[in-house]
Structure 1
Amino acid sequence: MRKFLLFLSVIFIGFIFIGRLFYLQVYTSTEHNLFEDNAIRKVYDYPKRGFVYDRNGQLLVANQPSYDVMVIPREVKPLDTLEFCSLLKIDKATFIKTFEKAYHYSPRLPSVFVAQLSKEDYAVLQEKMRKYQGFYIQKRSLRHYQTTIGANVLGDIGEVGYRDIKDDPYYIMGDLKGKQGVEASYENTLRGVKGIKFIQKDRFNRDIGPYKEGKFDTVPQQGKDITITIDAKLQAYGELLMQNKRGGVIAIEPSSGEILAMIAAPSYNPNILVGRNRSANFTKLFRDTIGKPLFNRSLQGVYEPGSPFKLMNALIALQEGVLTPKETVTCYRGYRYGNRFMKCHCNVGTVNNMITGIQRSCNAYFATAYRKILDKNGNASDGINNWSTHAKSFGLGEFLNNDLYVGQKGRIPDRDYYKHVYPKTFYSTYTISNAIGQGEVATTPIQLANMIAAIANRGFYYTPHIIKNIEGETLPEQFTAPKYTTIDRENFEPVIEGMFQVYKKGTASMLQVKDIDICGKTGTVENFAIIDGKKTQLTDHSIFVAFAPKDNPKIALAVFVENGYWGSRFAGKIASLMIEKHIKGFITRTDLEDWLLRYGLEEEYAKPYSGKPFNINDKTIVHPVDESEYQHLKQRLKELENPGV
């Protein structure tokens, strides 16, 4: 009986082994992971990244060959570390730190050990790589920016982090991806699909050929080329005008929503974020917490819009029927409400209708309009909600749902917003600053430019976007379908006429451009900061919005210049010049151009850190740049007039 039991046990165990082997070889054979097989070396074949062109076909971003030293930690054998570090131009501490990082990621999978070798370093190292088992050289494409402009537009590529790898299994340690700008927004389009080769190794860890004759190998798929909406010449010109200033400029084509220029100042040369010095250069840019060159002010800068927002209140007043274009308001150098007084630049007894109110930027007129809107039905709570709905229909106070990598919502308040301050009673006078674009109203430059595009179109806009064409694809409907505001078409004409008179007789009369009918609005916004724990008033921001021509508009733009004193001083000049550059292709107002190159605001920005006093009411202060800087900018201007940027 015991012998029989032993015999059955052997047979039973044998069946278990046979069943397990059958299960592993038949049912789970597809689970064999080539990436975890130590007898197979994985070699990735990286595709060329797609090219980037401007709207006129000018090549902005191309590729250049790059060589990465890869490591498979588990395969590394003892080596002459000092010699290897000398060849790689790194120190031993960096060697150890990088190796430990690669081992922590995976001892079996390849990681980038040293990225982006130069051709010269590659040539020297290639001859000696046989000495360093576990290391090999991998070729890939690196970005080559064909321009020095548009860093905030184009962005850059950098090595993926752990979160990138976790979120998208396509990436492995050492891969590159778009980090900012167009490179990030259109990463999946530009990157293509990398190929892979599986190389069989023998028991001595030597390559013996393709695994299963290359059955599982894949070929790379090249990234698609894209054309962006930016006009490189207009972008370069705008960046030149914004030298020695801080702020943002957005120019839009009203008929399509295409972004013609997107300028953030200060900026930097995109080429400094390419190659082995990328990390060091990025760190310098990141640590500049004063100029903030990595901060895209045109998309992320949130400012009170100031007087340009009066255009919105005029439109809402017309739509709600609380004012007519001819109805007048008398200004006594300001507007009194209760025991408070809102100042204005109009003379005592000035009578304004809607057109002259816009032309003269009368605070009393728009305070009256705002109160009439909120008090229309005797309930200011309902009134401000209605007011907010109209403003948001222009894309204000919300993300624009565009294809830009960063952005801010801005702020258009409603009754709920004020509940924590005014929980029970609410009157129109509580928020009277909204009448002149201050108080709780806040916008980004791109939102304000989009608002002006909607006014230029008499009531609709296209979502602002940066993509013009993708190779072999059509644009999504979100960029081609018009979005309508809550304002009827006929209500735009008086407002547009008022903007036209701003250039003819009003606050921008000195900025006219021959043969171009420009409609604009100046803005001067109070500017406060906390310095040494105290709220300090700094020099006002300069803001300007405009579109042109008046009929069949081709460009709408918003210009924000921080600490620029008043609207027409810096922002207005920049707007007029960019409009002329776009429409004519050349400049006749060289006087405005020369003034902007000769004067900057660096001294103004240094005041909080130097202890120098602010003279916010002194309109005579100017800050000339150094003569050498001025001559440099003049030379750069000459270069821009030649073909290419």
Structure 2
Amino acid sequence: MEADSTHLRLSVLAVVCVSLVAALLARLWFLQILDTQEYEVASEENRLRVIHEEGPRGRILDRNGKVIVENRSSIVVGIDKSAHEELDESTRNELYENLASDLTELGEPVKEEEIEQALVDDQHGPLELVPVAEDVDEEVELFLAERADEYPSVVVERRTVRNYPYGDVAAHLLGYVGEVNEDELRARQDGDKPYLLGDEIGKAGVEATYEDELRGVPGSRTIEVSATEEYLGEVMEERVEPAPGADVWLTIDIDIQYFAERALDEMMEERREAIQAVGGTFPVPQGSVVIIDPRNGDVMAMASSPDYDPASLVSGISSDLWEQLNDEAAGQPFVNWAIQGMWAPGSTFKLFTAHAALESGFITTETPYNDIGYYEVPGCSGEQCKFTNANEAPAGTVDTEQSLTVSSDSFYYWIGDNFWRQTDLYGETPIQDSAELFGLGQPTGIDIPGEAAGRIPTPERREQAHQENPDAFPTDEWYSGDNIITAIGQGDVLVTPLQLANAYATFANGGTRYQPRVLSKITQPLTLAGDPADPENYEVVSEAAPVEVAEVPISDDVYDEILAGLQGVTTSSLGTAYAAAQDFPPAWPVAGKTGTAEVAGKADTSVFVGFGPSLPLAEPQYVIASIIPESGFGAEVSAPVVMRIFEAISNGQVPAARTLESQATLTEEDSDSESPYGSSDTISGPVYGNDYGGTD
């Protein structure tokens, strides 16, 4: 019995032992055979790191192939995160103190706490360089190279950043780039050109609109590291080379752009001096010039003053710089006044009132009106019923042509009042309808972000505005007086310089309203070493075509009548812009309209828009609009700016725009006489207007 029990125990023990051995063998087989691949993959991932590399950003060229935005090498001082981790706390603190002190002394101000904060920022991976100072001078690079032992973990490398050969020329139109933020990252995470935090992205202007085209194709390099994150080398067969982005060609002519900016800035400075000379305090805070080809909507120049230097934003925008760029006292340099500024157009609006009156049949081209210097609303008594010309100066008997040439306010007061009195015949908004046909009161659709819509007031919009903001619009009623001042581009009428230019372009070409554009074509360079403008060195990806938005009905007799009036503005001795255009060559005449808009508590807004050549059987090629607020009369400020530009264009003497490099080579003597259009006389005459419409 005992023997049987012993035998049983031995048998059970044997079974247990065999089972344990079998389980051990099975586990060993699983580890060696089934799990080998998984462990190999995990091991591979642990020892390999993929480093993202941005592709070179595409260049921006003007219509003639001149490079106006490119890339250049920038020196960056940074800290190698992995090497920094090996330093003890005492060494780190000493490093922060010395690096901040020496960089500041070398003209690159950095604070210790900024260095520490950058190192804990999670946008930089463990093997990435953490930037401490960007775009530094070569002097800094040499200083740190000579003292490498004193700055453990500090690395100096060269990166590619945006370069602007012409400095601040066309800054608002071109825009700028900056680091992609989390919102932008989320919006583009599924794109063909993936982003990582720290990558560059267009923030404004062309850089933003054509980000997808300009952005290069990212590449990558794979490196091998040890268990302690020590760099062991690159896995060359895994390398993916980055590819350059496409080049963007614009409709802009950089020479005309440069000339327009200089003409605008010089006039604004003259006006400041003139205002100060008579004891005025208005600063002439902003100004703009827009030039459009009326045959297709090409924007050839877009000047906005004050401007900013996009190169100053290459390393990011500090809070101090942000405040400077948005300072109202400094004219808000960050604002593109050409598309974001909204002002009353004054008498330049009379074109649309005349169009409405003639096309509706309210008047004919021969309808006379006796301008006695003012218009009184029939059946109304009191000062609020009387609307005057500037200084109540009578214009005598005028028709539509003459009313435009001499800028008779009373003629248009009369039209505005009678339209409102006869709504049963003409509806409530014939003037507004005409203005909107020409594109006012709505974005033009230009391919630059941030465009303002302007405002064309109507009875319905007055009611809506009152409901939304009763303080600014204390009544929801629309009166005859509202229609009267709307007819001369005052009251609640607001336009942008671009809208005004495009509206006149629509008239100039006979009624086709184009969508303004700055894109000409997209090309892909075959090599970055060659000339980007050489057709042998690129492939055309796409070409922009004119976009017709609307066709405005303009009868032949209506067109001829209005055109004759606009031609008289510059060619007749009675014309409001005759003084600004009297020396202009008759072989290349300009038609146009002055405007002077009053703003409560401020100096007048000066407006002028013109087109040329205005010849029989010839298509106008250029429309130029200028608006300069708080500066004076349209005839004395904006008109001379526009005519200076027209003069240079008409005689083929627009000087080549100067790059920063060429400007640096100018001698002081050259600099003193470098005005692109010669000397200009100081403007004389009154500075402020008195009545609605002022002195055009």
TM-score range (shorter-chain normalised) is: 0.7 to 0.9
Q: Distance in 1 between matches of 2:249 and 2:318?
A: 26
2:188 corresponds in structure 1 to 168
Whether 1:236 and 2:255 are equivalent positions in the alignment is: no
Whether 1:560 and 2:606 are equivalent positions in the alignment is: no
Q: Distance in 2 between matches of 1:387 and 1:25?
A: 78
1:516 to 580, 588, 600: 588
Q: Distance in 2 between matches of 1:303 and 1:578?
A: 22
Q: How much does 1:508 deviate?
A: 1.1
Q: Distance in 1 between matches of 2:258 and 2:325?
A: 21
Q: Partner letter of residue 71 of structure 2?
A: N
* Structure label with greater radius of gyration: 2
Whether 1:251 and 2:296 are equivalent positions in the alignment is: no
Alignment of 1:408-447 (within 5 A): 408-420=452-464, 426=478, 428-447=480-499
Alignment of 1:468-479 (within 5 A): 468-471=520-523, 472-477=540-545
2:204 to 165, 176, 180: 180
Whether 1:577 and 2:577 are equivalent positions in the alignment is: no
| Aligned 8 A contact 2:263 2:645 in 1 | no
Q: Distance in 2 between matches of 1:600 and 1:112?
A: 55
Note the alpha carbon deviations across 1:359-403, whole angstroms, 9 max, x for none.
Answer: 1111121122234444555277x422x543332222211111111
Alignment of 1:538-617 (within 5 A): 538-550=602-614, 551-586=618-653, 596=680, 598=682, 616=689
1:353 corresponds in structure 2 to 399
Q: Distance in 1 between matches of 2:504 and 2:594?
A: 13
Q: How much does 1:573 deviate?
A: 0.5
Residues 247 and 586 of structure 1, relative CA distance in 2, 3 Å threshold: same
Q: Helix, strand or coil: the match of 1:261?
A: strand
Q: Distance in 2 between matches of 1:164 and 1:38?
A: 30
Q: How much does 1:187 deviate?
A: 2.3
Q: How much does 1:182 deviate?
A: 2.3
Q: Partner letter of residue 439 of structure 2?
A: G
Q: Distance in 2 between matches of 1:253 and 1:520?
A: 15
Instruction: Give me the TM-score of the superposition, normalised by structure 1.
Output: 0.79
Residues 335 and 85 of structure 1, relative CA distance in 2, 3 Å threshold: same
2:387 corresponds in structure 1 to 342
Q: How much does 1:234 deviate?
A: 1.7
| Aligned 8 A contact 2:57 2:245 in 1 | yes
Q: Partner letter of residue 54 of structure 1?
A: D
Q: Partner letter of residue 466 of structure 1?
A: V
Q: Helix, strand or coil: the match of 2:166?
A: coil
1:50 to 38, 49, 58: 58
Q: Distance in 2 between matches of 1:552 and 1:283?
A: 46
Q: Partner letter of residue 410 of structure 2?
A: A
| Aligned 8 A contact 1:316 1:487 in 2 | no
Q: Distance in 2 between matches of 1:453 and 1:373?
A: 26
Q: Distance in 1 between matches of 2:515 and 2:317?
A: 37
Q: Distance in 2 between matches of 1:424 and 1:581?
A: 49
Q: Helix, strand or coil: the match of 1:539?
A: coil
Alignment of 1:271-282 (within 5 A): 271-274=311-314
Whether 1:121 and 2:140 are equivalent positions in the alignment is: yes
| Aligned 8 A contact 1:390 1:485 in 2 | no
Q: Distance in 2 between matches of 1:521 and 1:324?
A: 21
| Aligned 8 A contact 1:540 1:564 in 2 | yes
Kindly report the root-mean-square deviation, in angstroms, between the aligned alpha carbons of the 2 structures.
3.9
Pick 1 or 2: higher relative contact order, CA cutoff 8 A, min separation 6.
2
Note the alpha carbon deviations across 1:215-264, whole angstroms, 9 max, x for none.
Answer: 3x422111222222222222222222222253111011111211111111
Residues 283 and 171 of structure 1, relative CA distance in 2, 3 Å threshold: farther
Segments of structure 2 that go 5 or more residues without pairing to the other structure are: 1-11, 105-109, 270-283, 467-473, 524-539, 655-673, 692-696
Q: Helix, strand or coil: the match of 1:358?
A: helix
Residues 120 and 397 of structure 1, relative CA distance in 2, 3 Å threshold: same
Q: How much does 1:423 deviate?
A: 8.6
Q: How much does 1:593 deviate?
A: 6.0
Residues 484 and 210 of structure 1, relative CA distance in 2, 3 Å threshold: same
Equivalent pairs: percent with the same residue? 25
Q: Partner letter of residue 562 of structure 2?
A: V
| Aligned 8 A contact 1:47 1:141 in 2 | no
Q: Helix, strand or coil: the match of 1:103?
A: coil
Q: Helix, strand or coil: the match of 2:636?
A: coil
Alignment of 1:6-405 (within 5 A): 39-69=47-77, 76-77=84-85, 78=87, 79=92, 80-81=94-95, 82-85=97-100, 89=104, 90-100=110-120, 102-103=121-122, 111-125=130-144, 139-148=158-167, 149-169=169-189, 170-211=194-235, 214-215=237-238, 217-243=239-265, 244=269, 246-274=286-314, 283-287=323-327, 289-337=329-377, 338-339=380-381, 340-345=385-390, 347-348=393-394, 350-378=396-424, 382-384=427-429, 386-405=430-449
Q: How much does 1:584 deviate?
A: 1.5
Segments of structure 1 that go 5 or more residues without pairing to the other structure are: 529-536, 605-613, 619-645
Residues 268 and 113 of structure 1, relative CA distance in 2, 3 Å threshold: closer
Q: How much does 1:140 deviate?
A: 2.5
Whether 1:484 and 2:553 are equivalent positions in the alignment is: no
Q: Helix, strand or coil: the match of 2:185?
A: helix
Q: Helix, strand or coil: the match of 1:143?
A: strand
Q: How much does 1:154 deviate?
A: 2.4
* Bigger Cα displacement from structure 2, 129-138 vs 298-307: 129-138
| Aligned 8 A contact 2:262 2:676 in 1 | no
Residues 226 and 570 of structure 1, relative CA distance in 2, 3 Å threshold: same
Q: How much does 1:293 deviate?
A: 1.7
How many equivalent residue pairs? 578
Q: Distance in 2 between matches of 1:314 and 1:194?
A: 56
Q: How much does 1:135 deviate?
A: 6.4
Q: Distance in 2 between matches of 1:591 and 1:145?
A: 22
Residues 388 and 67 of structure 1, relative CA distance in 2, 3 Å threshold: same
